[in-house]
Structure 1
Amino acid sequence: FYETPMTQEAKRCALALELARAGKTAAMVCSGDSGIYGMAALVYELRGESREPEIEVIPGLTAACSAAALLGAPLTHDFAVISLSDRLTPWETIEKRLAHAAQADLAIALYNPASRSRPEHLKRACDILLRFLPENRLCGIARNIGRAGENCRMLTLGELREAEVDMFCTVLIGNAMTKTIGRRLITPRGYKNV
């Protein structure tokens, strides 16, 4: 069993590949889905064009899907998943993605909404979204998904701008059709006569 802190992911992936090349069975375990903001791509990149060792990616349940289930069914139609972490993606790129997702009226799942080193990122993201979306756009926050203290709440985009969030939160922003039914956030799929 070997674990690394944030920013040491490449070291951990390289060790797994080294162990596998030495004939051992190695497994990389990530939270969520290793192919969505996880380490699956990094393992492939480090292995390069070689076919050895064999890599098998097993899908997991990503935070966007888990948060959606807690809140109701807000991702039932087209949606975008955007990380607000600018560790690996320039903030200018994140801004552009937020603006395009809002203009396309996609429901949006936001990962990494804030941390100690980036406490204002969610507020900045909301400012971008509010250029295109109304303040009363329905949103939700899920925290500690699958852990002790799991909770979720619904709020508006205007309220989201001032919400307290951390790295244990996943934020969902509905599209123009998103509504509440029985204290749940629902984005209709578009079935007729419902």
Structure 2
Amino acid sequence: TLNDELPRLKRRRAAAAQLLDEVEAEVEHIQMLIAEKLQRRAELSRKYGAFCPLGCEAPEAETLGADDDGGVELRASFKRQIADMEAELGQRRSQVSDAERDAQMRIASQEMKTLQAEMIALCREHEVLKISSGRAYVEHQAAVRELEALLRGQHSAESVQHETQAVQAQLGELRRQAEDPARLEEG
């Protein structure tokens, strides 16, 4: 029946997947051994040249196919490549986000400077129009206080921007340091 067949098929699938994992592990091991032997043969050939007493010269049949290592692309290598690409994509997205944030901070700083210049111009106009009255003096003082508050706000915004950039630089350095050990373990 169908209900009996599904569990049996699932067990067969699990066994086949396990067998595939074991076969790939064996292929990786064999590829590593081949690479070691080829490297050793190349070292002996360089060391002794044409007069190798240990038989380190490759037979003619082997040298013809020496360029074709016959390496097998395995699922594990594809998974590592995908993980590396995803990590790089995440890093690039973070860089784009950081760049957008920096651009927004620059725009805000520029707008603050423009507002400051407009406020100064308004204060000067206001001062010229009402300088003779006592009320003008009070209003002038209020405008000066507002201008000082704007300047403090601008300095605070610039300070926050510098601190944000420093923290982003530290974060980037920490990310690079965190990636290096991971790549060493994979290799």
- Give TM-score scaled by structure 1 length: 0.17
Question: Which structure carries more strand by proportion?
Answer: 1
For CA contacts below 8 A with separation 6 or more, give which structure has more relative contact order.
1
- Greater percentage in helix: 2
Name the TM-score, length of structure 2 as normaliser. 0.18
